[in-house]
Structure 1
Amino acid sequence: MKPALIFDMDGVVVDNTAYQARAFQLLFRDLGLTTNARQLLKRLNGMPATDILQTVFRHPVPAKQLKEYAAQRELLYRTLYWTKRREMPGLSAFLQAARAAGHPVGLGTGSGGPALRYILDHLGLRRYFDAVVGEDDVSQGKPHPDTFTAVARKLGVAPADCLVFEDAVLGEQAAYRAGMRCVAVTSTLPASAFQAPLLAIRDFTALTVPQLLAAGAAQPTAPRPRRQPAS
């Protein structure tokens, strides 16, 4: 079977990280927190919002309250990004080429169902993905491997035969923990921030399927992850 291609959503399918950060910053202002959202997301981008929020408080916060804060942040983000929703340049053409070449295509994200509909369905992209896994489908989000292993299982492909597209370091580590290789999408971080990607791309305008396969052949096995996942 040809390698499966698995895409993260935020920062990969769409270039929305700056809007995500702005929404977090507005929430922090409302809560009287001085945390720098951009710096926070450089470290924790890819994790579910409730997990990210849990790190900014010095005292324990009940899960119900974290969910309420996450919902408030989501509303702020959607309002900010409402008229800006665009697919990453070159994405549809690349997805069409990959599917035409016989590659299974999946999506694995820390976002939940409403956020998936907000992006995938609004942009008409869901039809390109043979399997979609979100926050509601796994018990542990990134940097744990569950999201990507669930996509591979739905696609019927061994993890070793999956190539992941990620814009976040924690997402890259999740791919390696799943036994997969990774392409770095540098919409959020520079290529130097990643451990050992097959390729580093800004978007999909210049990437071809043969180029991707050549990079995969040059790195036939997944690198070892740097450290254990956060609890």
Structure 2
Amino acid sequence: MAPAQRAFIFDMDGTIVDNMAFHTKSWITFFERRGHALDPDEFFRSTAGRQGHEIMRTYLGAHITKEESAALDAEKESLYRELYAPHRATVTGFDRLIAAAKADGVALAVGTAAPTDNVVFTLDGLDLRRHFDAIVGAADVARGKPNPDVFLLAAERCGAAPEHCIVFEDAPLGVEAARRAGMRAVVLTTTLPAEAFAEYDNVICVARDFSELDVEQLFATAAD
């Protein structure tokens, strides 16, 4: 019997690239223009991984139409790309880890709440798209994290069962989405400390960046 397909599924913002401070800054600026004063840390904890239209409806009202939300999303994301463009880079060790995973036959996927323009901005801007077997973004699923939709679709497109997938995340809502998908998770502390993930029993490893990680050791730990 052939061995089961294994997969790594990467969140994008805050995981492949260390950009969440720029996302948060753009959101804070966006809402300040509309008279909302928000605490950056609390905002991140409660929204990271959710889709833009979900965040808009939470803070601006459920009455917002799909068309209005799309226009607001475009404004906010344009502000984010302007802020982050000069700093765009992968997190330390990412290139080495995915090279090792590919050599080991591990499928690679992206599971992100980002809109299409931001996926293009990041993955194509850094010439990363060629490495992935599947890329799933906000346009591909109806619900953002903590719902498991984005990770389940990524696994399906890779031909991997959830129990053979490891998710890489930087946000609690993303780790919860992995848990609901039946997947183990690796946490990168690019944005929050390890303590923020203490309640999640699907976390198999916490690391500062990808340089601390080993492909076979991760799967061995996930199997325990």
The two structures, once aligned, show a CA RMSD in angstroms of 1.4
Q: 1:113 aligns with which of 102, 113, 116?
A: 116
Q: Distance in 2 between matches of 1:52 and 1:69?
A: 11
Alpha-carbon deviation of 1:2? Answer: 4.5
Q: Distance in 2 between matches of 1:12 and 1:31?
A: 29
Q: Distance in 2 between matches of 1:184 and 1:60?
A: 35
Counterpart check, 1:49 vs 2:52: yes
Q: 1:9 aligns with which of 7, 12, 36?
A: 12
Paired position in structure 1 for 2:220: 214
Q: Deviation digits for residues 195-226 of structure 1, max 9, x if unmatched?
A: 131000111112111221232122xxxxxxxx
The answer as to whether partners of 1:47 and 1:110 remain within 8 angstroms in 2 is: yes
Alpha-carbon deviation of 1:58? Answer: 5.5
Q: Deviation digits for residues 138-167 of structure 1, max 9, x if unmatched?
A: 121211111011011101111111111111
Query: What amino acid maps onto 2:56 in structure 1?
Result: L
The answer as to whether partners of 1:23 and 1:73 remain within 8 angstroms in 2 is: yes
Q: 2:102 aligns with which of 88, 99, 102?
A: 99
Paired position in structure 2 for 1:125: 128
Query: What amino acid maps onto 1:6 in structure 2?
Result: I
Of 206-215 and 139-148, more deviation after overlay is shown by: 206-215
Identity of aligned residues (%): 39
Query: What amino acid maps onto 1:189 in structure 2?
Result: L
Query: What amino acid maps onto 2:215 in structure 1?
Result: V
Q: Please, what TM-score do these two structures have when normalized by structure 2?
A: 0.93
The answer as to whether partners of 1:35 and 1:56 remain within 8 angstroms in 2 is: no
Q: Distance in 2 between matches of 1:38 and 1:69?
A: 22
Paired position in structure 2 for 1:25: 28
Paired position in structure 2 for 1:226: none
Of 166-175 and 208-217, more deviation after overlay is shown by: 208-217
The answer as to whether partners of 2:51 and 2:143 remain within 8 angstroms in 1 is: no
Question: How many residue pairs align between the two structures?
Answer: 218
Paired position in structure 1 for 2:179: 176
Deviating runs (4+, > 4 A) in structure 1? none
Q: Distance in 2 between matches of 1:126 and 1:177?
A: 27
Q: Please, what TM-score do these two structures have when normalized by structure 1?
A: 0.90
Alpha-carbon deviation of 1:42? Answer: 1.5
2:71 aligned counterpart, secondary structure: helix
After superposition, the Cα gap between the structure-2 partners of 1:203 and 1:124, relative to the gap in structure 1 and judged at 3 Å, is same
Paired position in structure 1 for 2:82: 79
Alpha-carbon deviation of 1:63? Answer: 2.9
